[in-house]
Amino acid sequence: MKHKTALITGATSGIGRAIAKNFAQNGLHVILCGRRQERLDALQKELSKITKVHTLNFDVRDKNKVFEQIKSLPKAFSAIDILINNAGNAHGKDPIDEGHTDDWDAMIDINVKGLLYVTKAVLPQMVERQSGHIINIGSTAGKEVYPTGNVYSASKHAVDALNQGMRMDLNGKGIKIGAVNPGLVETEFSEVRFKGDTQKADTVYQGYTPLQPQDVAETVWFAVTRPPHVNIADLTMMCLDQASSMIVNKTS
């Protein structure tokens, strides 16, 4: 596992950043992706003390930039062993008749099409080498729908479908495909969903003990360290206080 190269989308925050740190601490070389350059620079500075780090700045919605950036990788980083398709967010939380088309576009374009573009840019080399591992970060929202979750949930159901489809189409080509589907994780997710309303965002994680990004990172690490014949195909994880999207044991 040491010195393998992993590309992580959405490495500037939350789950992606925790996965990047965990990989770096375990000796993997990491390619950190995101749009916020100052955060990419800060994480690169931190992780460069313990491993080899490269950063790529692109919006996953920008198809040409995705291909251009991944093609531009220096030789030392160009063979990608592990791809973590993590970049994504919810935008808004409204009943369908009150939803905003810009939010819908963002969720479908980032969570679904962006994941496809990055996968398309990385896959050919994995197919050629007959080896590689892709982990798609889905969600409990990709397994069940909840009121006002409509389009976000649809985008994560698409990730679930793509995870299955990729595994079928790549069967026999030596590439592992799997999903990790977390429930509520305390990240900047709700801040993005509620467009910077931090007070509203904070209430999502109050009154119970939610998952932390590190919990998801440790689960991803478990998946990537299984023996060659074992593929974690589809794993759903929630905090103890969560039973489903709608059932959370809040004590306050």
Of 102 and 128, CB closest to ligand NDP? 102
Query: Tokens 């592992």 sit at which residue?
Result: 176
Which option in ligand 8X3, ligand NDP, none does residue 155 bind, with CB closer than 5 to 8 A by kind? Answer: none
Query: What b/e string do you get for 203-231 counting C-beta neighbours within 10 Å, with b at 16 or more?
Result: ebbeeeebbbbebbbebbbebbeeeeeee
CB of 66 to ligand NDP, least distance (A): 9
> Does residue 152 carry a catalytic annotation?
yes
Residue 139 near residue 180 (C-beta atoms within 8 A): no
Q: Which of 56, 141, 216, 238 binds ligand 8X3 (CB under 6 A)?
A: 141
Of 32 and 216, CB closest to ligand 8X3? 216
Of 196 and 227, CB closest to ligand NDP? 196
Q: Which of 3, 36, 11, 64 lies closest to 220, judged by CA?
A: 11
73 contact partners, CB below 8 Å, separation of at least 6: 31, 54, 56, 80
Of 86 and 245, CB closest to ligand 8X3? 245
Residues that bind ligand NDP (CB under 6 A): 9-16, 34-36, 39, 59-61, 86-89, 110, 114, 137, 139, 182, 184-185, 187-189, 192
Q: Active site residue: 146, 152, 205, 208, which one?
A: 152
Of 14 and 178, CB closest to ligand NDP? 14
Q: Which of 149, 125, 141 lies closest to 238, judged by CA?
A: 141
Which residue type does 73 have?
L
CB of 131 to ligand NDP, least distance (A): 25
Q: Which of 55, 69, 150, 245 binds ligand 8X3 (CB under 6 A)?
A: 245
Task: Report in angstroms the alpha-carbon separations of 65 from 20, 51, 58, 61, 244.
Answer: 22, 26, 6, 9, 37
Which option in ligand 8X3, ligand NDP, none does residue 92 bind, with CB closer than 5 to 8 A by kind? Answer: none
CB of 245 to ligand 8X3, least distance (A): 5
Q: Which of 180, 74, 166, 69 lies closest to 127, judged by CA?
A: 166
Judged by CB under 6 A, does residue 110 bind ligand 8X3?
no
Task: Render 118-155 in DSSP notation, one character per residue.
Answer: HHHHHHHHHHHHT-EEEEEE--GGGT---TT-HHHHHH
Task: Count residues near ligand 8X3 (CB under 6 A).
Answer: 7
Binding mask of the shown chain, residues 142 to 161, with x at each position contacting ligand 8X3 by CB under 6 A: -------x------------
Q: Which residue is nearest to ligand NDP (CB)?
A: 14
What backbone phi and psi angles, to 5 degrees, belong to 53? -130, 135
Show which residues are catalytic.
152
Residues binding ligand 8X3 (CB under 6 A): 139-141, 149, 183-184, 245
